């Protein structure tokens, strides 16, 4: 049989079960002579060389195995040779089958925690190449190396995701009571802890949202220009069409275009972006605003724009709160 006809994982499995043939064992040992630990293990490891890595792996494995019975003194040299050969084979088998488990022993995964400040928009790259745009006051947590079957990320706040396609490793976002599962697509998640609802809006691709809140298992599958809305009060997860989904491509960078939104809605959005309280005069709360706002600029600049577009309004700051009031004309 030609060398390239062997499957190394299959041989390791046969070795583990004691069904490997002498011919296969000979090839297996020859293969190990050219086995490159660095190619399999060193990437992302803190070890500087192959020998150092081998020692660390073997010590980690040995510490988790039961101690073998002491051999008789008269055959100790033979057993020492057999043990050395077995260690090599065991190392290869573990490297082939338990790469992630071994790496967790050698170089444990570290959790990364990032928090965007109020009024701050930021873009980050995850270890798999996924791009994430964080909205203000958003916390995201993820491992510094995706080794598990799932690429799990935790989110509190709002972020736009452009997920790197990987069918073998689903991308999962845990946001409170809801879980968003994707393979490769772009979408927006808004899931602030203090908000009454959580929303997942799909710009492209397909996304699944799941929840078991209130003891009810629910699932919604969305495609482009659809969104799922989870109501924290009644625990219901609903799907709806959302033609304006593409707006999140601009909003991820802090640019908002309002096409007939109420002043109260605009004020609530600005308050969320800047992390402040904005109070609107009840007499103008339902007035409609048409215009563009850039929340990467100072809040005073954007409130000036808002009040310039909306006639007879002005804003002021009192005790760290903002007020938008109607100007009453004097006769």
Cβ–Cβ under 8 Å, residues 324 and 267: yes
Give the rounded distance of the alpha carbon of 62 from its chain centre. Answer: 34
Average pLDDT for 159-176: 92
Q: What is the pLDDT of residues 208-230, one digit of tens each?
A: 999 988 788 899 999 999 999 99
pLDDT at 2 over 60: no
Specify the CATH class of 254-326 in words.
Answer: alpha beta
Is 254-326 in the same CATH topology as 111-246? no
pTM of the model: 0.68
Mean pLDDT, all residues of the chain: 81
pLDDT value for 37: 44
78-103 pLDDT per residue, tens = 545 555 555 555 555 555 555 555 55
User: How far is 157 from 175, CA to CA, in rounded Å?
Assistant: 8
Mean pLDDT of 175-184: 90
Q: Please determine, for residue 118, whether its predicted confidence score (pLDDT) is greater than 60.
A: yes
CB 222 within 8 A of CB 202: yes
* Rounded Cα distance, 219 and 224, in Å: 17
Find all residues with CB under 8 Å of 128, minimum gap 6, and list them.
Answer: 146, 151, 164, 166, 169, 171
In this structure, what token pair is assigned to residue 162? 């452009």
pLDDT score of 63 more than 70: no
Per-residue confidence (pLDDT) for residue 286, from 0 to 100: 95
273 and 116 in contact (C-beta within 8 Å)? no
* Alpha carbon of residue 223 to chain centroid: 20
d(CA 319, CA 322): 8
Q: What percentage of the chain reaches a pLDDT higher than 70? A: 72
Tell me the average pLDDT across 157-175. 93
CB atoms within 10 A of CB 27: 19
If 0-12 CB within 10 Å is exposed, 13-18 middle and 19+ buried, where does residue 183 land?
middle
Q: What is the CATH number of domain 111-246?
A: 2.60.120.1440
Check if the beta carbon of residue 113 is closer than 8 Å to that of residue 139: yes
What proportions of the chain, in percent to the nearest 5, are helix, strand and coil? 35, 30, 35
The pLDDT of residue 296: 93
Parse the chain into domains and list their residue ranges: 3-106, 111-246, 254-326
- Strands 139-143 and 122-125 turn out to be unpaired
> For residues 38 and 103, which has the higher predicted lDDT (pLDDT)?
103
Q: In this structure, are residues 172 and 150 in contact, taking their beta carbons and an 8 Å threshold? A: yes
């Amino acid at each position: 049989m030609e060398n390239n006809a062997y499957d190394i994982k299959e041989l390791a499995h046969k070795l583990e079960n004691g069904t490997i043939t002498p011919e296969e064992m000979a090839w297996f040992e020859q293969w190990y002579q050219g086995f490159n630990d660095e190619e399999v293990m060193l990437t992302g490891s803190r070890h500087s060389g192959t020998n150092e890595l081998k020692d660390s792996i073997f010590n980690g494995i040995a510490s988790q195995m039961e101690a073998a019975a002491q051999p008789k003194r008269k055959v100790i040299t033979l057993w020492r040779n057999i043990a050395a050969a077995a260690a090599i084979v065991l190392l290869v088998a573990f490297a082939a089958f338990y790469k992630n488990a071994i790496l967790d022993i050698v170089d444990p995964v570290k959790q990364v925690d990032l928090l965007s400040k109020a009024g701050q928009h930021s873009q980050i790259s995850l270890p798999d190449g996924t791009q994430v745009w964080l909205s203000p006051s958003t916390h995201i947590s993820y491992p510094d190396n995706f080794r598990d079957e799932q690429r799990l990320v935790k989110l509190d706040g709002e972020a736009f995701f452009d997920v790197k396609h990987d069918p073998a490793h689903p991308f999962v976002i845990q946001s409170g009571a809801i879980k968003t599962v994707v393979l490769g697509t772009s979408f927006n998640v808004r899931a602030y802890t203090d908000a009454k609802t959580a929303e997942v809006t799909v710009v492209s691709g397909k996304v699944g949202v799941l929840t078991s809140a209130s003891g009810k298992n629910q699932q919604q599958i969305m495609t482009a220009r659809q969104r799922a809305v989870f109501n924290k009060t009644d625990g219901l997860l609903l799907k709806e069409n959302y033609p304006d989904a593409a707006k999140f491509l601009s909003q991820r960078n802090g640019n908002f275009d309002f096409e007939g939104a109420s002043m109260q809605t605009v004020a609530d959005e600005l308050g969320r972006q800047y992390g402040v309280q904005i109070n609107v005069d009840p007499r103008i709360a339902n007035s409609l605003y048409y215009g563009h706002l850039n929340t990467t600029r100072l809040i005073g600049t954007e409130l000036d724009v808002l009040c310039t577009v909306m006639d007879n309004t002005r804003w002021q700051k009192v005790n760290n709160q903002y007020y938008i009031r109607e100007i009453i004309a004097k006769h």
